[in-house]
Structure 1
Amino acid sequence: MKGEKPVLRRIEWGIREREREREREREREREREREREREREREREREREREREREGGRERGREGQRNRKVLVNVSAHTTKLLLLQPARSVCLCYFTNTLSPLCLFQPARSVYSCYFNNTLSAAMGTHTTLWAVCRKVETLVVLQQLGGALFDTALQVVVKERSNSTDGGVNSTSTVDDRQRAMSDFFMTYNLLGKLTPIVPAIILAKLSDRGWRKAPIIAPLLGYMASRLVLLLVVVLGWPIQVMWVGVSLHGFSGGFSAIWAGVMTVVSLGSTEQRRSGVMMRVELLYGLAGLLGSLVSGHLFQLYGSTLGQGTVLVGVSLLLYGLCLLHAVSLLQVSVDGSGQEQTTPLIRKNRKEEEDKGEDEGEEAAAGGEARSNRINIGLLFVGGVLYDVAVAGAMEILVSFQMKEPLNWNAKQVGYGNASGFLIFLTSFLGVMVMSRFMIDSSLIIVGMLSFASGIYFMAFVTKTYQFYLARSLMLFALIPTPTIRSMLSQQVTGSSYGIVLTSFQLSFKVASLVYTPTYTKIYQHTLDWLPGFVFLLSSSISVLATIPIRFVESTPILITKLPRPNLVLPDSRT
């Protein structure tokens, strides 16, 4: 028995040694696999570099072709100016006598050639630059938002005047509270129609865009915009009931609405820019949108007070808005260029790094599967928390902003057209302050902290808004909302970090649709609460929004800002026009 124990120990030692050897062999195999993967990655990088070089060659070829076209145009214009006479001989005959005394020892011919070529090059360069700017989507965005800012002020003031009239309108009543209830009921129906009718048309237009009809999501909504503006013009000129505007907003919605046109604009921007420049181009488009809204709101109140012959106030303002949308439609049909950059094609790089052993070797051990499962569960929890926080914040912001339109029109504020325009301009100013805030704070704050700062900024401003009795107090409350546009786009960015590339569109579309579903609840709820609190505290709904906004920060605090397997995406363009602050 004593002799058997050493033998057993040697056998056990041999078994353990063979097991360790097999483990070392598996480790060496994994290392070889990692080395092969690194080699494949280097090969893909070399292929991408060769593709960039080929694209650079194609771009240089296109630039040379454009230069040749410019030279052909210059030759044609020169020939016409010289009445079909040989340009060279005429120039030599004329400019030799004119320029020879000034040229000293230089031949007159060479001096003229330099001067003439430089002048023509500068003129043609300026002409080409202006033409290129006119064909860009930024021009369309500016025209569209200028017209939209004018329309918003016109609609708000027209509804107020009709509610105060004694011959019909929204609901002719004798008390201020009754007029406020009539206005809030009108805007409740108007907003619900504007939010629900575009859902299906926007999806159809998006599919058409994916099939190559890139201008369809832009042109179709512009037709709806023109129809709704034309309806308002007829309401002002012919004295139709203001409820006719429900037909106008329905036409606008069934053509795709704002969600369709903005998606189309972003598609054109993405196709016409490289990956390196895309973020900057999108930021530029969004800043131009905010600046155009700011300018349009500032001048809208003054335009409203202008009279159109015998047609009364508001005719000029609505007419200018309709004209701007007509120019916008003409630009989209005839001038807008949808260019496809070589590196601007859609890519399907996954945002979650899939485990390569899972794809290539089905024999992944249980420890790795457990780790991957834990990470997937963490991502699902993050998505749920972000959805809850985003929807709560949208309820707080959108509900308050819908009531703010009626709140501005009652005592003690009782704004006129100019003041309405200035108030709308203060809302567009938040586009700029939020953008600057992100540029500064993102250097030392994580995304979840940025979201909380934006939510608390809105909560403080809307809380102060509940007790506003003077116009200057309104602007003080607005000044507290400087960062109110940060949360929603940042939440979208964080959502994109939790899913694969194939699920990116589904998740973000679901996130946006959740706002539409929530509006079915908060729009009538806020309206009825406002109507029932007019007698004792008209700003009670703003206190409610402040509380909901603070409540929305709770799920955001528990979101993991940097999941283990998620690649870090570039910081998003945070000044988004679909925000309702």
Structure 2
Amino acid sequence: MQPSSTSTLPILADSKEAVNDVSTTRSVRPPFTCPLPVAVEPVMFLSMFSLALQAPLVTQYLWDRISEDLGYNGSKRSECSNSSVPLDPLQKEVETLTAHWNLYINLWGFSLGLFMVPFLGSWSDLAGRRPVLILPNLGLALQAGVYLVVMYLKLPVVYFLVGRLLSGLSGDFNTILAGCFAYMADTSNRRSRTFKMAVLEACLGLSGMLASIIGGQWRQAQGYINPFWLVLATNLASALYAYLFVRESVLPDPSAKLFTTRHHKAIWHLYSTGGSSSSEDSGRFHRCKLWLYTLCFFLVVAVHSGSRELFVLYELSSPLCWGPTLIGYGSAAQHLSYLSSLLGLRVMQYCLEDSWVALVALASNFIGLVVFSVADTTQLMFTGYGLSFLLMAVTPVIRSKLSKLVDPSEQGALFAAVACVESLCYLAGSGVFNSLYPATRHFMKGFTFIFAALILFIPAGIIW
């Protein structure tokens, strides 16, 4: 193909998608053919529901276990929210230990996932998308099972690392993200891809919002164990749905091997040459855009993930001293931004290009973080959540722009790379923010949120 034939690219992309649709119909079908339209969104919804249900509960469980071990019960005292009362030294120790254990657990899981995601994501270009939707859900179910054993037997929290080991070896949640977004790229055209990606992001938000509301109320009423049984059941349901109903979107190669250097080479080729669809003249341009958009994605998601981990810790301690119900509502308000971002993206696409949509979303995120940094009342905290109503509109724009830069046969390798970057985001965000928060809270409790807001100037400048 000559470089001047750019007008034929969308047609070729659509034709390749059509070939994929035909081939899967004649080769690989799920065991049960549903007469209704079956999509990949329920896999994303169920997997995210289980993750959003357990994440705040794990932090609260760590807080309660560490508080019990240290003999601290300050969150139950009436003077907790009284700023004139000197800070209990035990509270600072509980906060520090909880943040550090969050860091250790996340480092362990994300490090293993970072090793496995390139194998599974790039392998899906050859073996199909369905396996990478099933295996990680089974691993997450095993993780929930280990957490239940720890809670039933009141084992030391170090055993949480065993659950993260099993989840990481199966690819963790980031492999599900890679599989779902690659599946969506397989089955969408270039014009609708940004909105389709936003729909998947909205599934994350809707499931997270429901899980947060349910988790807060349920934990207050019945403790931790029963909600984690639902986490286990939801992961199994997601794996079962993908196995029974999701139709394959690529033609599987039965001889495709999982553990081979070919998958890593495919990702390296993508970022070193700009993709198979790039000509020699445009290769450097595509390569530059791939690296810059990936850098933007890294910084944005690192800020999102790092600050999100601190919200529960920030809300548990004084002067807010939230209980499980308010923490659930706060997490629900945070996940509501996925839906408001989807609506805002759809409206803004009528009058703005995607890059401008991303800049508006970054501005919303910046303002919200600044408000969080000074929030000392419940009303101000929820004001920050409200001002961040567009923060999730930037990531589907970046995913869509990345997807449009590569050939349809390289979508799995691309989103495997994006998933690896996402793992690094969680790793970097967890490490930096969970370390920075206890180190700076003595002079400004919200300094970490100010730091996160300043980082957003870098992706905004690149996109500009």
1:274/1:399 Cα in 2 relative to 1: closer, same or farther (>3 Å)? closer
Would you say the 8 A contact 1:217–1:260 is kept in 2?
A: yes
Match of 2:393 in 1: 486
Q: How does 1:442-521 map to 2 (within 5 A)?
A: 442-496=349-403, 509-510=416-417, 512-517=419-424, 521=428
Q: Report SS of the residue matched to 1:177.
A: helix
Question: Residues 463 and 543 of structure 1 are in contact (CA less than 8 Å); yes or no, is this contact kept in structure 2?
Answer: yes
Aligned to 2:245: 336
Aligned to 1:217: 132
In 1: Cα distance, 2:354 partner to 2:196 partner: 22
| Secondary structure in 2 matching 1:486 | helix
Contact 2:130–2:248, Cα closer than 8 Å, also in 1: no
The equivalent residue for 1:146 is 49
Unaligned runs of 5+ in 1: 1-33, 62-127, 308-312, 343-349, 356-371, 558-581
Q: How far off is 1:161 after superposition?
A: 1.0
User: Compared with structure 1, are the counterparts of its residues 351 and 440 closer, same or farther at alpha carbon in structure 2 (3 Å cutoff)?
Assistant: farther
**Contact 1:465–1:542 under 8 Å retained in 2:** yes
What residue is the counterpart of 1:156 in the other structure? 59
The residue aligned with 1:250 is 165
Report the more deviating stretch, 507-516 or 256-265: 507-516
Conserved 8 A contact 1:301-1:420: yes
Asked whether 1:325 is paired with 2:232, we answer no
Preserved contact between residue 208 and residue 335 of structure 2 (Cα < 8 Å)? yes
Distance 2:211 2:71 in 1: 30
- 2:307 alignment partner AA: A
Letter in 1 for 2:53: L
The C-alpha deviation readout for 1:29-55, integer Å capped at 9, x for no partner, is xxxxx9xx99xx8xx99xx7xx99x97
1:330, CA displacement in angstroms?
3.5
CA contact (8 A) 2:50 2:211 kept: yes
Distance of 1:448 and 1:274 partners within structure 2: 20
Q: What is the match of residue 78 of structure 1?
A: none
Distance 2:210 2:183 in 1: 25
Map residues 30-179 of structure 1 onto 2, 5 A cutoff. Answer: 131-133=34-36, 137-166=40-69, 175-179=90-94
Q: Which amino acid aligns with 1:256?
A: G
Task: Report the AA paired with residue 140 of structure 2.
Answer: Y
Secondary structure of 1:206 counterpart? helix
CA shift for structure 1 position 178: 1.0
Task: Within 5 Å, give how 1:140-539 maps onto structure 2.
Answer: 140-166=43-69, 175-268=90-183, 273=187, 275=189, 279=193, 284-307=199-222, 313-333=223-243, 335-339=244-248, 354=279, 372=281, 381-496=288-403, 509-510=416-417, 512-517=419-424, 521-539=428-446
- 8 A Cα contact 1:274 1:341, kept in partner: no
Letter in 2 for 1:528: S
Q: Structure 2: 5+ residue runs without aligned partners?
A: 27-31, 73-87, 252-274
How far apart are 1:429 and its partner, in Å? 0.6
Give the TM-score taking structure 1 as reference length. 0.61
Say if 1:464 and 1:477, in contact at 8 Å, map to a contact too: yes
CA-based RMSD of the aligned residues comes to 4.0
Distance in 2, Cα, partners of 1:533 & 1:258: 31
Q: CA deviation at 1:336?
A: 2.4
Residue of structure 2 in register with 1:89 after alignment: none
2: CA distance, partners of 1:337 / 1:257: 20
SS in structure 2 of the partner of residue 535 of structure 1: coil
CA distance in 2, matches of 1:182, 1:533: 15
Query: Alignment identity in percent?
Result: 23
Cα distance, 1:229 vs structure 2:
0.9
**CA deviation string 1:430-484 (max 9, x = no partner):** 1111111111112222233222211111111101101111122111001111111
2:65 corresponds to which letter in structure 1?
Answer: R
Q: Secondary structure at the match of 2:391?
A: coil
Q: CA deviation at 1:247?
A: 1.8
> In the comparison of the two structures, how many residue pairs are matched?
413
Q: In the alignment, residue 62 of structure 2 is paired with which amino acid? A: V
- Larger RCO of the pair (alpha carbons < 8 Å, separation 6+): 2
Query: 2:214 is aligned with what amino acid?
Result: V
Letter in 2 for 1:475: F
CA gap of 1:267–1:383, structure 2 versus 1, over 3 A, is closer
Which one has the largest radius of gyration? 1
CA distance in 2, matches of 1:196, 1:446: 36
